Every structure is written in structure tokens, then in C-alpha cells.
Structure 1
Amino acid sequence: MSKVRLDTLYDASEIRDIWENNQTVPCIKDPKEGLITPNMYRANKGSKPCPYCGQKMVHGRQYYTKSKTEAISRGYQYKTVDGKPYINQAGSLYFHQHYVTIDHKLNKARFPEKMFDYDNLEAICWRCNNQKSDNLMFELEHKLEHLRSLKESVFRRYPNPH
């Protein structure tokens, strides 16, 4: 997919189709491995921690099922931020909450020319990707929350002697 062609995309369904249709096409220039597919990018990140929740991300057939009942029994269901039960689903498949997804730091709908740029991609678990949604401040909010948590931990461990 040429960058000139990607620059002209503004229709959400066309962008989604291009992303979906290129999952097995070597179109991401990995600095170490050369051209790789989005599926290879995801596979390379399996067993790594999610940069937001720290949970080990999973990848592969053993982490999805066609049965909603099976997904629930495997523990794939979790509560969303608003407390509702949720299972990650794509088409007829149900996925583990920490299945590897590819997040676009700059949204592919707003920056279609960056859709396959390695520096614009980040592997995060499906649960965090759903929480992030289209929030460009998610990373900063997450870091702020982490810093507040560290501060509270330090103050509990080392109380003010005065």
C-alpha cells in the first residue's frame, strides 16, 4: 500500500477494509526483521507484558474459541471500566482479555498514511486497547495514575517522621 494512496483515505470503512485485508501482507518495516505482516507483529509480542496493565499478552489459537460458553469457562470474560461483563469478540471468535492487539498511537482514521508505520504501532492487550479506545491521552493518563500510585506507596512505606 503506497503512502500516497493512504494519504487520500478518509472513509472509515475503506480504512478498516485496508487494515483487515493486509493482515497477512508484509507491510510493516520492522527495524530488526525487515518487512513483516501485522499478524507477525502480533505474534512477536506474545508473552511480553502489556505496557499499560503489565499482564503477559497471549497469542495463538489456544487463546480464542468460537463458543461464548467456552470463552466464559476459560475466564476470558472481564468487567469493563463501567462494571459491565465483556468478552473480546471479532467475527465469530471470542478472545482472551490479554490477547495481543495492535494499537495505532496516531489513529489510523485520522492518520491513514501512518497505518503501517512501525513507529506508530504498539502491541497492547485487547483489554487495554478497549479501554484506550480513541483516547489520545490514555498513555499520559496511565503514566499519571502510575506516578500517583508510586507516590502513595512511598508515603506508606516511609511515613513522614514529623
Structure 2
Amino acid sequence: MRKKMNKMNKKTIDSQRYIAIMAAVLIIAVVIAPTLTAIETEIPANASVPNIAPSFISLSIPDDSADPGYQVINPDPERNKTVRLEVVLCDMNGHDDISNVNANITGPSPVDPFTLKLNRTLNVSTAVYEGYFNMSHHKQGEYTITVRAHDKGGMSSQAELNFT
């Protein structure tokens, strides 16, 4: 009988050890492991984002003719002809990094330079700018609009659009 009791006690002790080991593993899994994971995700990191110049996605003006290229036609030279210029710009440092957008027009007749204003944002890096210029009483011929975009970091880029 004693041998049977010793065997039973040994089985009970083995079962209790097993339960204790499993409880310890469970405590480690539930309490300590998430703490270690949280510690690992809180490691500080520094990133340097270089300044990148704005890039032009598009420049457009209303086209008054079906002919190839852009045509600005003033049917009545005695009346003002105001033309809208739309520019879509992207700055990988964010659209709010763009500090100013200016346009200069060269051609047979002088056209005053002008500044384009923010019209709307398309997403975090892209925005639409617009500006207006007057083409009343101007000589016919080839004109070039040169648009320059500057950002707060001192970078700039330019694009051109030709019209007649």
C-alpha cells in the first residue's frame, strides 16, 4: 500500500510541478512579453528629410482655338481680355512648403509679371495656384509664360508654357 501511496504522491507532485511550470509560462506570456514588445516599439528614431524643390504637374490657360497649342484670342481689341493661368504644383515636403509662385510673360508686347495665389489643395503635397493677366491691346505673336515656384527652404523650379 505504501508503494501505491508513494507512486500517487509522486504523480500528484509531478502534476503540481507541471501546473506550476505552465502557470509561470502563462504569466510570462501575458505579463512580461507585452512589456518587452512595448519597450521595443518605443525606441526613439531620428529621420532627416531633405528639402526638395517644388515640381510642376501642369500649367494651363483657356485655349480659344482648336488649333494645336494654346491660343488667346481677343475678338474685340477695345475690350479687356483677362486670361486665367492655372498651375498644379507638388512639393514632397508638403504643399505648405511652397512660399510663392510668380509668372513672367515675354513676347511682342509687354505683360506685367504677376503672383499666383493658392486656389485649393489636392492632397498633402499637391496644390493648385491661379493667377490672372491682361492681354488687351497686345500685338499678335508668340508669347512665353515662365512660372517660378519657390519653397521655404530656398529651393525653386520653373516651367514654361507657350501661346499665341
TM-score range, shorter chain: under 0.3
**Which structure is higher in helix share?**
1
TM-score by length of 1: 0.19
TM-score (norm 2): 0.19
Higher relative strand content? 2
